[in-house]
């Protein structure tokens, strides 16, 4: 018995794909992913139309989706993140139906409860056996964790595994078990290793970034949370990584035994594990080769599903136990609402990912961002798009001062006592505007091109088209 | 945030347990289990009545269930196996409603598809953290795999984890993740280590057993299946273990690289893994301490859920890829139907467990049994109870000859060529009866006391009450 089929075309036919259905993809191969394009090209050739694409994230490598939209193959998109290339086209009005943005926790929740049913899930698997047991830990296209693919595999009506490393049954140390898999397709390559993970993620050397990072580490140090059992998530941006570096030094100096590091995992988090700052890493996605090597070889570094990471509708998720998260922003307003969906001209160039989920779960949710970018202040009266509501954000760290959300008065007092440069968010806005000037208000286009769905399923905001010339 | 509650009573109340509901239990603590009795006693004290108990197996230690049945606390039982103590009472007519017997694959299938919904699942966990991540690999009551508990955790409306080893969050190397768990109760002890696993399982020294074991190994050797990639399951009975020992010698002598050993795992299977006979062990339940040690420390030895082991309604299960299984029987008839539910007097003293599942899946399903037991021949015209249908059985090995199911003519020819003592099943019956005399026919009682549900959900047979004096 084997579930191997001879081609992607045969797999799609066996899955019974028809007009109007939903197909899904995960994004662990990131900008090196070949699978989404390969599958959509085959589907287009088969003449199937009017599909919904539900992808955990979309990168610039997925630019061919624009043609599938123009040709009516794809008429709806659900995703947690969209890079600037496709984002720009969507913002200019490429699609009739608004894109639905969810979060990395809201997506699996909506899949599990039937809000966004999946007809056929395509799992890009760096290793698989002929019955469909598969993993991201091994193979020439190794990407580490397959965390975001779990809900797709568990709940889709049909599940197709696509691999470029077929191994004899049974694959050892599988992530997704055969019980969910309908068929397996072997292809030459599922991705370009250079795009799948960066060789290494890099700490910033920019002086402004280092100042912010140092403040961020001190905020954590004096937050009251940095004690034995401490848990932490940070992104892969240069300043966030630098903050993790400073935090590591503080933890080692104070001999603090943390419990876990969470999230998309970088080599810097692996360093912290190995240095004894954490007991475990809980990993929904690997960002670099060091993280991939670690999840493959270190039993303390464990894969978690997107459901386990962040779903608000399971009995609990790891984000509910998180102490501190460091997050980014393209804008933050004086109510601490954060935008990570659109750029300074209003074009889509991102998405929540795990932003809202970790902000909601963590005891301390910190935004780290420079006071201004491209001569535009980071603090505004109202963000262009609410990606994460201000009620879930505790503090904004910039090189020009640290603004604490008034809801967390205790934190403000502790940081002031520690001698950190606390500043009101309105003052911070004024300080930035004194340097950059007040920004011109953005013009909104006439159409809603995307909806931001909050992690628990409500409509958080709408994103409008960008008018010509902006 | 924590899901810890102060007592079992509080957990049961929080779960909203009411009259008429279904509670479930798993059996990895085997005859050392304290949890089922502890929970049922608390439920009885709370005055809840008319419950269905869905337990993956019931052992003699669960004898107090009989009183709960007499008192109306429990009015229905669903299980895959029932030891002789409770079995005798059921056979004498203790319950108004027939017991429903399923298989280790059929049970998770029926739970997943809603045929046997569970209101509250109780998970006995040798280690757990305060959010409910739990495992059987560590702790004073370590039992290794928690495979049978997965469907209960995944599909029950409420899930209560009961542990005697609470560890800080997050537990490393969890089996069942927190996403399914509603609350966690800490107790003094979930079981008696002496009853949880035997210190060691023992190879038979009985000459008859050794003859059968040697034949069994030779049947496998000449079956055409013993080649690289070979996969194997055997039980924990003395002759089955001896057969595994002989098979190991053959595999090593012939330098055969098998793929996996499956099932309830004993130290003998661990020896075969370590000797290089297999690449992996896939483990739904550990039978002895050596297996527990191995699953904890050897990454080639992996836990599988009951769904992954044997469910006929998932996209596939490991049994579908199995080459050879060695199974026992209390009776086998001339159509190769096998009874593992009742003893020679018709009393319930067992159940299918994984018998039917592996027989259906394996390319070669072998029964190993002595020609007679207690002066009763093993082969009969019609088994008292059909536990596994004859269509799924390939061969019966006894010390008095090897009977091949006529459906598998190729196998009979190969074994004959190899010089093995092949005998027709009718001749084997006559040969046994020449020694023991023809058995007296069993008398059937008036009532159906149990139904045998086949792995795919049909009624395979009914078990009748045993009349007085039999």
Question: Cβ separation of A179 and B314 shorter than 8 Å?
Answer: yes
Residues of chain A with Cβ-Cβ distance to B229 below 8 Å are 168
Q: Is B24 exposed, middle or buried (0-12, 13-18, 19+ CB in 10 A)?
A: buried
Judge: B170–A318 Cβ closer than 8 Å, yes or no.
yes
> Does residue B306 belong to the interface with chain A, where contact is any CB pair within 8 Å?
no
Q: What is the pLDDT of residues B358-394, one digit of tens each?
A: 999 999 999 999 999 988 999 999 999 999 999 999 9
The rounded distance, in Å, linking the Cα atoms of B64 and B69 is 9
Q: Are B123 and B26 in contact (CB under 8 A)?
A: yes
Residue B434: CB atoms within 10 A of its CB come to 10
A313 in reach of chain B (CB within 8 A): no
Q: What distance in Å separates residue B192's CA from the closest CA in chain A?
A: 29
Instruction: Mark the ranges of chain B whose per-residue pLDDT is less than 70.
Output: 198-201
Contacts of B300 in chain A (CB under 8 A): 172
Q: In what order do the strands lie in the sheet with B280-286?
A: B301-303, B280-286, B260-265, B231-234, B324-327, B364-368, B395-398, B401-404
Nearest CB to B169: which of A170, A259, A308?
A259
Q: Which of A131, A282, A315 sits opposite B170 (nearest CB)?
A: A282
Nearest residue, CB atoms, B179 vs list A169, A182, A308:
A308
Contacts of A179 in chain B (CB under 8 A): 305, 307-308, 311, 314-317
| Alpha-carbon gap: B316 to the closest alpha carbon of chain A (Å) | 5
What is the distance of C-alpha A356 from the center of its chain? 10
Q: Which residue does chain B place closest to A159, by CA atoms?
A: B315
- Residue in B172, B182, B260 nearest the CB of A300: B172
pLDDT at res. A200: 58
Mean pLDDT of chain A: 96
In terms of Cα–Cα distance, which of B408, B399, B403 is closest to B369? B399
Least Cα distance to B85 among B287, B346, B348 occurs for B348
Contacts of B30 (CB under 8 A, 6+ apart): B57, B59, B143, B195, B196, B197
Provide the edge-to-edge strand list for the sheet that holds A74-79: A4-5, A183-186, A158-163, A120-125, A22-25, A51-55, A74-79, A99-101, A448-453, A459-464
* Residue B3 near residue B182 (C-beta atoms within 8 A): yes
Nearest Cα residue to A131 out of B305, B365, B314: B314
Size of interface A-B (CB pairs under 8 A): 105
DSSP helix/strand/coil, B84: helix
Residue of B nearest to A230 (CA): B169
In a 13 Å sphere around the CA of A177, the CA atoms on its Cβ side amount to 17
Predicted local confidence at residue A88, as pLDDT:
97
The predicted structure's pLDDT at residue B199? 59
- Helices H, strands E: what count in chain A? 15, 25
How much is the pLDDT for B468? 85
Average confidence (pLDDT) per 10 residues, chain A, 470 residues: 95 97 97 97 98 97 98 98 97 97 98 98 98 97 98 98 98 97 98 79 84 97 98 91 96 97 96 97 96 96 98 98 97 98 96 98 98 93 97 98 96 97 98 93 94 97 93
Report in angstroms the alpha-carbon separations of A138 from A6, A34, A162, B152, B275: 23, 17, 14, 31, 25
- pTM higher than 0.80 for the full model? yes
DSSP B97: S
Q: What was the pLDDT predicted at A201?
A: 66
Does residue A297 sit at the B interface (CB-CB below 8 Å)? no
Q: What is the pLDDT of residue B194?
A: 85
Euclidean distance between CA atoms B396 and B425, whole angstroms: 8
Min CA distance, A23 vs chain B (Å)? 19
* CA–CA separation, A231 and A225 (whole Å): 9
Distance from CA of B308 to the nearest CA of A (A): 6
Measured in whole angstroms, the distance separating CA A257 from the mean position of its chain's CA atoms is: 27
The set of long-range contacts for B205-211, using a CB threshold of 8 Å and a minimum separation of 24, is B205/B238, B206/B238, B206/B239, B208/B370, B208/B399, B209/B238, B209/B239, B209/B242, B209/B370, B210/B239, B210/B242, B211/B399
Q: Which two tokens mark B396?
A: 């019966």
Contact present, B5 and B35 (Cβ < 8 Å): no
Measuring CA to CA, which residue among A61, A29, A67, A24 is closest to residue A45?
Answer: A67
| Burial (CB count within 10 angstroms: exposed 0-12, middle 13-18, buried 19+), residue B16 | exposed
Tens-digit pLDDT profile for residues B48-58: 999 999 999 99
């Amino acid at each position: 018995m084997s579930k191997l089929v001879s081609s992607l075309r045969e797999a799609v036919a066996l899955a019974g794909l028809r007009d109007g259905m939903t197909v899904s993809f995960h994004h662990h191969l990131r900008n090196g992913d070949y699978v989404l394009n390969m599958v959509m090209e085959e589907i287009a050739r088969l003449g199937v139309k009017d599909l919904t694409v539900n992808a955990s994230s979309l990168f610039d490598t997925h630019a061919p989706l624009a043609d599938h939209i123009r040709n009516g193959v794809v008429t709806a998109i659900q995703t947690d993140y969209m890079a600037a290339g496709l984002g720009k086209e969507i913002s200019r009005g490429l699609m009739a139906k608004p894109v639905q943005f969810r979060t990395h926790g809201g997506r699996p929740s909506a899949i599990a409860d039937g809000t966004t049913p999946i007809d056929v899930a395509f799992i890009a698997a760096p290793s698989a056996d002929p019955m469909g047991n598969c993993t991201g830990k091994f193979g020439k296209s190794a990407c580490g964790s397959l965390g975001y693919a779990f809900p797709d595999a568990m709940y889709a009506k049909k599940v197709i595994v696509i691999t470029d490393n077929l191994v004899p049954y049974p694959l050892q140390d599988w992530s997704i078990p055969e019980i969910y898999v309908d068929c397996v397709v072997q292809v030459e390559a599922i991705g370009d290793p250079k795009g799948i993970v960066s060789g290494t993620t890099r700490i910033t050397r920019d002086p402004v970034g280092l100042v912010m990072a140092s403040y961020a580490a001190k905020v954590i140090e004096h937050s009251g949370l940095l004690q034995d059992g401490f848990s932490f998530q940070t992104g892969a941006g240069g300043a966030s990584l630098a903050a993790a570096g400073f935090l590591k030094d503080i933890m080692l100096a104070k001999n603090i035994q943390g419990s876990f590091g969470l999230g998309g995992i970088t080599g810097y988090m692996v360093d912290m594990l190995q240095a004894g700052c954490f007991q475990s890493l809980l990993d929904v996605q690997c960002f670099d080769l060091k993280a991939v090597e670690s999840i493959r070889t270190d039993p303390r570094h464990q894969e978690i599903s997107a459901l386990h990471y962040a779903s608000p509708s399971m009995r609990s998720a790891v984000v509910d136990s998180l102490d501190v998260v460091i997050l980014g922003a393209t804008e933050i307003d004086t109510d601490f609402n954060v935008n990570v969906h659109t750029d300074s001209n209003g074009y889509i160039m991102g998405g929540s990912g795990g932003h809202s989920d970790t902000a909601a779960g963590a005891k301390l949710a910190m935004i780290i961002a420079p006071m201004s970018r491209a001569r535009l202040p980071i603090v505004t009266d109202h963000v262009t798009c609410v990606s994460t509501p201000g009620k879930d954000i505790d503090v904004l760290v910039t090189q020009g001062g640290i603004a604490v959300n008034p809801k967390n008065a205790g934190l403000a007092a502790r940081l002031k006592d520690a001698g950190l440069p606390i500043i009101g968010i309105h003052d911070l806005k004024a300080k930035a505007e004194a340097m950059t000037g007040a920004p011109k208000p953005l013009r909104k286009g006439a159409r809603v091109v995307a909806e931001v769905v909050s992690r628990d399923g409500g409509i958080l905001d709408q994103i409008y088209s960008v008018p010509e010339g902006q």
